[in-house]
A and B are shown apart, each in its own frame.
Chain A
Amino acid sequence: MEAIIILFSTGIVSLFIAMTRKPILVLLTALIGVTVTAIVMSINWYTPMQWVKYDGIETDYFTIIYGATATLFSFLFILIGYSKFSKEVYHTGDYIAILIFSLCGALCLFSFTDLFMFFIGLEILSIPMYVMAGSNKKNLLSSEAAMKYFFTGSFATGVLLFGIACVYGALGTFQLKEMSEAIAAMKNSSALLQVGMILILAGFLFKVGAVPFHFWGPDVYSGSPNVVTGFMATVVKLAAFCGFLRLFQLGFNGLDGFFVEILIAVSVLTMFVGNLSALRQTKLKRLIAYSSITHVGYALICLLVKNEHTPAYLWTYFFAYGFSIVALITVSMIVNDENDDIDRYKAFARTNPFAGFVMILALLSLAGVPPLVGFFGKYLVFSSAIEQYPVLIIIALINSGIAIYYYLKVILTAISKDDNAEKSTVSPLHAIVLSISMFGLILGGFVTFWVN
């Protein structure tokens, strides 16, 4: 709770600091605030702080790990986006504050104990994203992305809310603990509960962009400003996955029977649709969007397995995935191309050796090539489900095989020769972010060893 309050105050303060019209001050405030939040969270690891008490929120180890990860990625995205934000002096504060508010929502989702807090967290997470998707006001695609995301998103929210209402009708409580007790005490499964759970599941699948609720994904990803795309792919997905994992595991005692079949079907479809659509993409951000759909398919495997280690596996997966996205988004900011064509990255690794190197690492990590961190995430997720669903794992591995083709195409474009290629300038902030993500990609495997 302390972390959320500090973070929220940081957002407000940076809004006021923005009145000085000095972007660097806003950046510093935001970074200090985010760092303090991270420190407060890590103190919680050793001695739980109880300054502010609220029943809707409960901090455990996974809350802290997930929270620290989301904070780290937000920190990196604020750094990446600063070069863009600072150009619009009047709005620098708005952008940074909105990202921080969204992070507040993510923190709520990592620690809620009742459906009320869950819904609030999800909305605080989403609404800033609707705004940020359209923040590139002069670009038609950006406005389109914002409209699309907002309309479909609010529809999904409605479905989710209806689901919550049904579940409340069946169980008569909002508390996760009481819900699971009520379900355990029930002799026959109630239809109202089933309907509610399906509607909640649909809302969830929409939020993470799984097939068949994925249509908003590519358009929103490619239309939004780069930083927002990255933020949506990492922090928002991490938070949504964690929130629903909490809900299903703590509230509904894990999914079984009918829901498992639904999830398996969705997972398989998501992998194939994402992969096969990505094969022929010519724009980097659309490629990232489709590949992130595929990655959602892999991560859904986590939800199928009832196991006390599942949150750790899911965390590993998104931790690994996040660094790749951070690196790729930074690279796309460096190249800074309106059209975002993959051809524009021709000879990028030759003109900018360091950035190109990190970009190649990021793509290989997404493909799951060891010893990069992406491999360890994939390995854990797959090995957790091998006993129950071996065929699903074979399908997932086949999909990893398909995916290597489009990652390889981008890599080959980046390392190819082109005498006319001009050198892009790498600002110091971007260089810092690139080196952080390089260390994350290479050494992240050891971090995941330690956490697991």
Chain B
Amino acid sequence: MELLVIPLVLAIISGFATKQLLKYLALFGTLLTFLLIAYRSWEYFGSSELVTLYSLNASSAFKCSFHLAYDGITLLMLLLNGIIFPLLVLAYYHTKWINNNRFVSMMFLMQFALIGVFLSMDVLLFYVFWEITLIPIFLIAYWFGSGERKKALIKFFIFTFVGSLAMLFSIIYLGSFTNSFNYSDVVSLGLTKEVAVWVMFGFLIAFAVKAPIFPLHSWQPDTYVSSPSPGTILLSALMLKMALYGMVRWMIPLAPEAIEVFRYPVIILSIIGIIYAAIIAIRLDDIKRVFAYASISHVGLIAGGIMIFTKDSLYASFLQMLNHGLIALALFMSAGILEERLQTRSLAQMGGVAKLAPRFAMFFAIIAFASVSVPFSMGFVGEFLLLKEIYSFSWISGLLAGTTLILGAIYTLRAYQLSMFSAPKISEFKDLHFNEWLVYIKISILLVVLGLFPHFIFDLVGPSIDKLLDSVFTINLLK
């Protein structure tokens, strides 16, 4: 319970706090949440039980209950959440953002809603938290974003809101077959196939918009570009994970009967997305846009892996989610550093930064290599396992998805080469300051250590995934 209350209280306090206090609030508040989550994960390690934090039957007319609980999967998402926020605050500690009451307040509200999304064990409660996340990120992007952002943000809001309405339809429709939206009740419903298809379709639309999966992605690059860089980090490292988490936790267990119907279309769309986004990323000039499309490409692979829904693919998907979260933080932070110090996002106007800022160049290189999944990085384990699973599902899709390794290397290294090494076009570039350096070091260590010892993550999520798979498949077999 305290996991939810602390960010909410901090969100209210930081709306009125003085400038000096605000920085400490932001740093120590996010650290406190991280420590609490880390403690709970440590205690939980190796178990597969659903630990209930708080449970209250709210109302029979709404069929909803206030049920918060966690298992290994939830804890991994919470850990990602807990790691990203302090790093975000640290990286932007001296900037105008962390000195702004509205920003810090909205950041804490975002954390509150995200923790709620991951903890809620009731469909309606999940929907409520899911929608709350939209407001703070929208306001952050609107208040602190750059350029002509009004149109992009209206597009963003309408896309995600309409997607969520599709999910609301599924929830309401599901409600006519059950008397309680509690997790344990809805996963054991045993819907007929027709109903299951409709239910899964609604959820899929909502998650495909937020992830985003190929034909519904058009809001994403515009929104990423017009948000301030901490906003982009929140969007890409955390908000998009909500959708992937939702697919595993809600969409498939709710209507496993329909997975056969949607497996092929979603995997095909993900593969189209992987290739399409990568090819666009190769041609682009705007560094933030390159990483935005890279994000579509990487998420496509994870979404495809989730739809295969085997033990290995789920293990790898969760590892990739963590990996993608950390890399997104580092990549968009690098893009933000370049943008802030050069006042441009255009790759054509950069060049020769490596000479002026060797430390930055080194860390950017580490992150870039981790992003293209070289061995010894976390991405290698995850991507390898995912490709293996997609390959054994169907060789042709494995082959096509495999191009992500080559294309990914091309667009990432191209962006790196153009900005860091090409003929010098700038004369001055301030190297990393201490805080940014600290953030890079932490992320690099995490990426390498978890690349060498991924079983830390597997031990945390593994038992819960096994249990989830068991429950989904026994329901399918019983019918």
How far apart sit A386 and B173, CA to CA, in the bound complex (Å)? 6
- Chain B residues near A415 (CB, 8 Å)? 139, 142-143
A residues in contact with B154, CB < 8 Å: 405, 408-409, 412
Q: Chain A's nearest CB lies how many Å from the CB of B161?
A: 5
Q: Which of A41-49, A217-225, A396-404 contacts B (4 or more CB under 8 A)?
A: A396-404
Q: Which residues of A contact B132 (CB under 8 A)?
A: 370-371
A390 to B194, CA, bound (A): 14
Known: A370-B131, A415-B142. A383 touches B176 (CB 8 A): yes
Whether B165 contacts A400 by the Cβ 8 Å rule is yes
Q: List chain A residues, Cβ under 8 A from B166.
A: 397
Q: Is the Cβ of A405 less than 8 Å from the Cβ of B158?
A: yes
Known A-B contacts A408-B158, A412-B150, A412-B154; the reply to A370 vs B128 at CB < 8 A is: yes
Chain B neighbourhood of A370, CB < 8 A: 127-128, 131-132
**Interface assignment of A61: CB less than 8 Å from any CB of chain B:** no
Give A423-452 interface residues, CB cut-off 8 Å to B: 449-450, 452
- Chain B residue, CB-CB nearest to A450: B59
User: What CA separation (Å) do A386 and B158 show in the bound complex?
Assistant: 24
Assess whether A382 is interfacial by the CB under 8 Å rule: yes
Residues in chain B near residue A376, CB distance under 8 A: 62
| A421 close to B (CB within 8 Å) | no
The CA-CA distance from A398 to B163 in the complex, in Å, is 10
Q: Which residue of B lies closest to A371 (CB)?
A: B128
Decide: A380 near B131, CB < 8 A? Known: A386-B175, A408-B158.
no
Q: Is the Cβ of B127 less than 8 Å from the Cβ of A404?
A: no
* A-facing residues in B54-75 (Cβ within 8 Å): 58-62
Is B44 on the interface with A (CB-CB < 8 A)? no
- Whether A404 and B158, one on each chain, are in contact in the complex, defined by CB atoms closer than 8 angstroms, is yes
CB contacts under 8 Å to B, within A367-406, are 367, 369-371, 375-376, 379-380, 382-383, 386-387, 390, 393-394, 397-398, 400-401, 404-405
In the bound complex, CA of A371 to CA of B116 (Å): 12
Q: Which residues of A in the span 311-327 have a Cβ within 8 Å of any Cβ on B?
A: 312
Chain B residues positioned under 8 Å from A305 (CB to CB): none
B280 within 8 A of A: no
Q: Mark B164-192, 1 if CB is under 8 A from A, else 0.
A: 01101100110110000000000000000
**Does chain B have a CB within 8 A of A309?**
yes
Query: Which residues of the partner chain A approach B162 to less than 8 Å between Cβ atoms?
Result: 401, 404
Give Cα A452–Cα B59 distance, bound, in whole angstroms: 7
Determine which of B139, B150, B173 lies in contact with A390 in the assembled complex, contact meaning CB atoms within 8 Å.
B173
> A394 to B62, alpha carbons, bound, how many Å?
19
* Cβ-based interface call for B458 (8 A): no
- Chain A residues touching B, range: 20 to 34
Residues of A within 8 A of B128 (CB): 370-371, 375
Residues 22 to 63 of chain B near chain A (Cβ within 8 Å): 58-62
CB pair A401 B135 closer than 8 Å: no
Cα-based distance from A394 to B166 in the complex (angstroms): 9
CB-contacts of B196-249 with A (<8 A): none
A364 within 8 A of B: yes
Q: Is the CB of B158 within 8 A of A401?
A: yes
Closest chain A CB from B154 CB (angstroms): 6
Residues in B neighbouring A369, C-beta threshold 8 A: 131, 134-135, 161
**Distance between B437 CB and nearest chain A CB, rounded to angstroms:** 34
Complex-state Cα separation, A408 to B143, whole angstroms: 15
Chain B nearest CB from A169 CB (Å) reads 40
Query: Taking the complex as formed, is B157 at the interface, i.e. its CB lies under 8 A from any CB of chain A?
Result: yes
Let me know if A379 and B172 touch, CB within 8 A. yes
- With a CB–CB cut-off of 8 A, which chain A residues contact B169? 393-394, 397
Chain B residues whose CB sits within 8 angstroms of the CB of A452 once the complex forms? 59-62
Q: Judging by beta carbons under 8 Å apart, are B158 and A379 in contact?
A: no
0 or 1 for each of B103-142: is its CB under 8 Å from A? (1 = yes): 0000000000000000000001001100110110001001
Q: Name the B residues within 8 Å of A390 (CB-CB).
A: 173
CB-contacts of A264-320 with B (<8 A): 309, 312
Would you list which residues of chain A between 89 and 122 have a CB under 8 Å from chain B? none
User: Which residues on B sit within 8 Å (CB–CB) of A394?
Assistant: 169
C-alpha spacing A393/B202, complex, angstroms: 13
Chain B residues positioned under 8 Å from A404 (CB to CB)? 157-158, 161-162
Give CA–CA (A370, B167) in the complex, Å.
13
A370 to B131, CA, bound (A): 6
A269 → B minimal CB distance (Å):
20
Q: Considering residues A367, A370, A404, A452, which has the most beta carbons from chain B within 10 angstroms of its beta carbon?
A: A370
Q: Which residues of A contact B173 (CB under 8 A)?
A: 386, 390
Residues B161 and A312 in contact, CB atoms below 8 Å apart: no
- B131 surroundings in chain A (CB, below 8 A): 369-371, 375
Shortest Cβ gap from A190 to chain B (Å):
36
**A364 with B135: CB separation less than 8 A:** yes
Nearest A residue to B175, CB-CB? A383
| Residues on the A chain within 8 Å of B153, using CB | 412
A397 near B168 (CB under 8 angstroms)?
Answer: yes
| Residue pair B158, A387 in contact (C-beta under 8 Å) | no
Given A415-B143, A449-B58, also A401-B176 (CB < 8 A): no
| Residues A386 and B142 in contact, CB atoms below 8 Å apart | no
Nearest Cβ distance between residue B127 and chain A, in whole angstroms? 7
A380 contact set on B, CB distance < 8 A: 61-62
Assess whether A312 is in contact with B61, with CB atoms less than 8 Å apart. yes
User: A412 — which chain B residues lie within 8 A by C-beta?
Assistant: 142, 150, 153-154
Contact for A401 among B60, B142, B143, B165, CB less than 8 A: B165
Point out which of B139, B142, B176 has the most chain A C-beta atoms below 10 A from its C-beta.
B176
Which residues of chain A are near B143, meaning CB under 8 Å?
415
Chain B residue with the shortest CB-CB distance to A446: B58
Residues of B within 8 A of A375 (CB): 128, 131
Cα A386 to Cα B143 with chains together (Å)? 39
Nearest chain A CB to B228 CB, angstrom units: 15
Bound complex: CA A188 to CA B161 (Å): 49
CA distance A375 to B125 in the complex (A): 12
**Closest A residue by C-beta to B131:** A370
Please give the distance in Å from A448's CB to the nearest CB on chain B: 8
Binary B-proximity of A142-171 (CB < 8 A = 1, otherwise 0) = 000000000000000000000000000000
A316: nearest residue on chain B (CB-CB)?
B61
Chain B positions within 8 Å of A401 at CB level: 158, 161-162, 165
Alpha-carbon distance between A404 and B131 when the two chains are bound, in angstroms: 13
Please tell me which one of the listed residues B150, B165, B176 contacts residue A387 in the complex, with CB atoms under 8 A apart: B176
Closest CB-CB distance, B111 to chain A, in whole Å?
A: 16
A74 to chain B, nearest CB (A): 27
Please tell me which one of the listed residues A383, A398, A408 contacts residue B172 in the complex, with CB atoms under 8 A apart.
A383
Distance in angstroms from B164 CB to nearest chain A CB is 9
A409 contact set on B, CB distance < 8 A: 154
How many Å lie between the Cα of A357 and that of B154 in the bound state?
19
User: Closest Cβ of chain A: how far from B184's Cβ, in Å?
Assistant: 21
- Give Cα A400 to B172, complex, Å: 15
Give the chain B neighbours of A408 by CB distance below 8 A. Answer: 154, 157-158
**A residues in contact with B176, CB < 8 Å:** 383, 386-387
What CA separation (Å) do A278 and B14 show in the bound complex?
37
C-alpha gap A382/B153 in the complex (Å) = 28
Task: Check if A449 sits within 8 Å of B168, measured CB to CB.
Answer: no
* A377-B165 Cα distance, complex, nearest whole Å: 15
Can you name 9 extra interface pairs (CB under 8 A) apart from A370-B132, A412-B154, A450-B59?
Answer: A376-B62, A379-B172, A382-B168, A386-B175, A398-B165, A401-B165, A405-B158, A415-B139, A449-B58
A-B contact pairs, 25 of them (CB 8 A): A309-B61, A367-B161, A369-B131, A369-B161, A370-B127, A371-B131, A380-B62, A383-B172, A383-B176, A386-B175, A393-B172, A397-B165, A401-B162, A401-B165, A404-B161, A405-B154, A408-B157, A409-B154, A412-B142, A412-B150, A415-B139, A449-B59, A449-B61, A452-B59, A452-B61
Using a CB–CB distance below 8 Å, which chain A residues touch chain B? 309, 312, 364, 367, 369-371, 375-376, 379-380, 382-383, 386-387, 390, 393-394, 397-398, 400-401, 404-405, 408-409, 412, 415, 449-450, 452
In order of increasing CB-CB distance, the 7 nearest A-B pairs are A452-B61, A370-B128, A449-B59, A401-B162, A383-B172, A387-B176, A397-B165
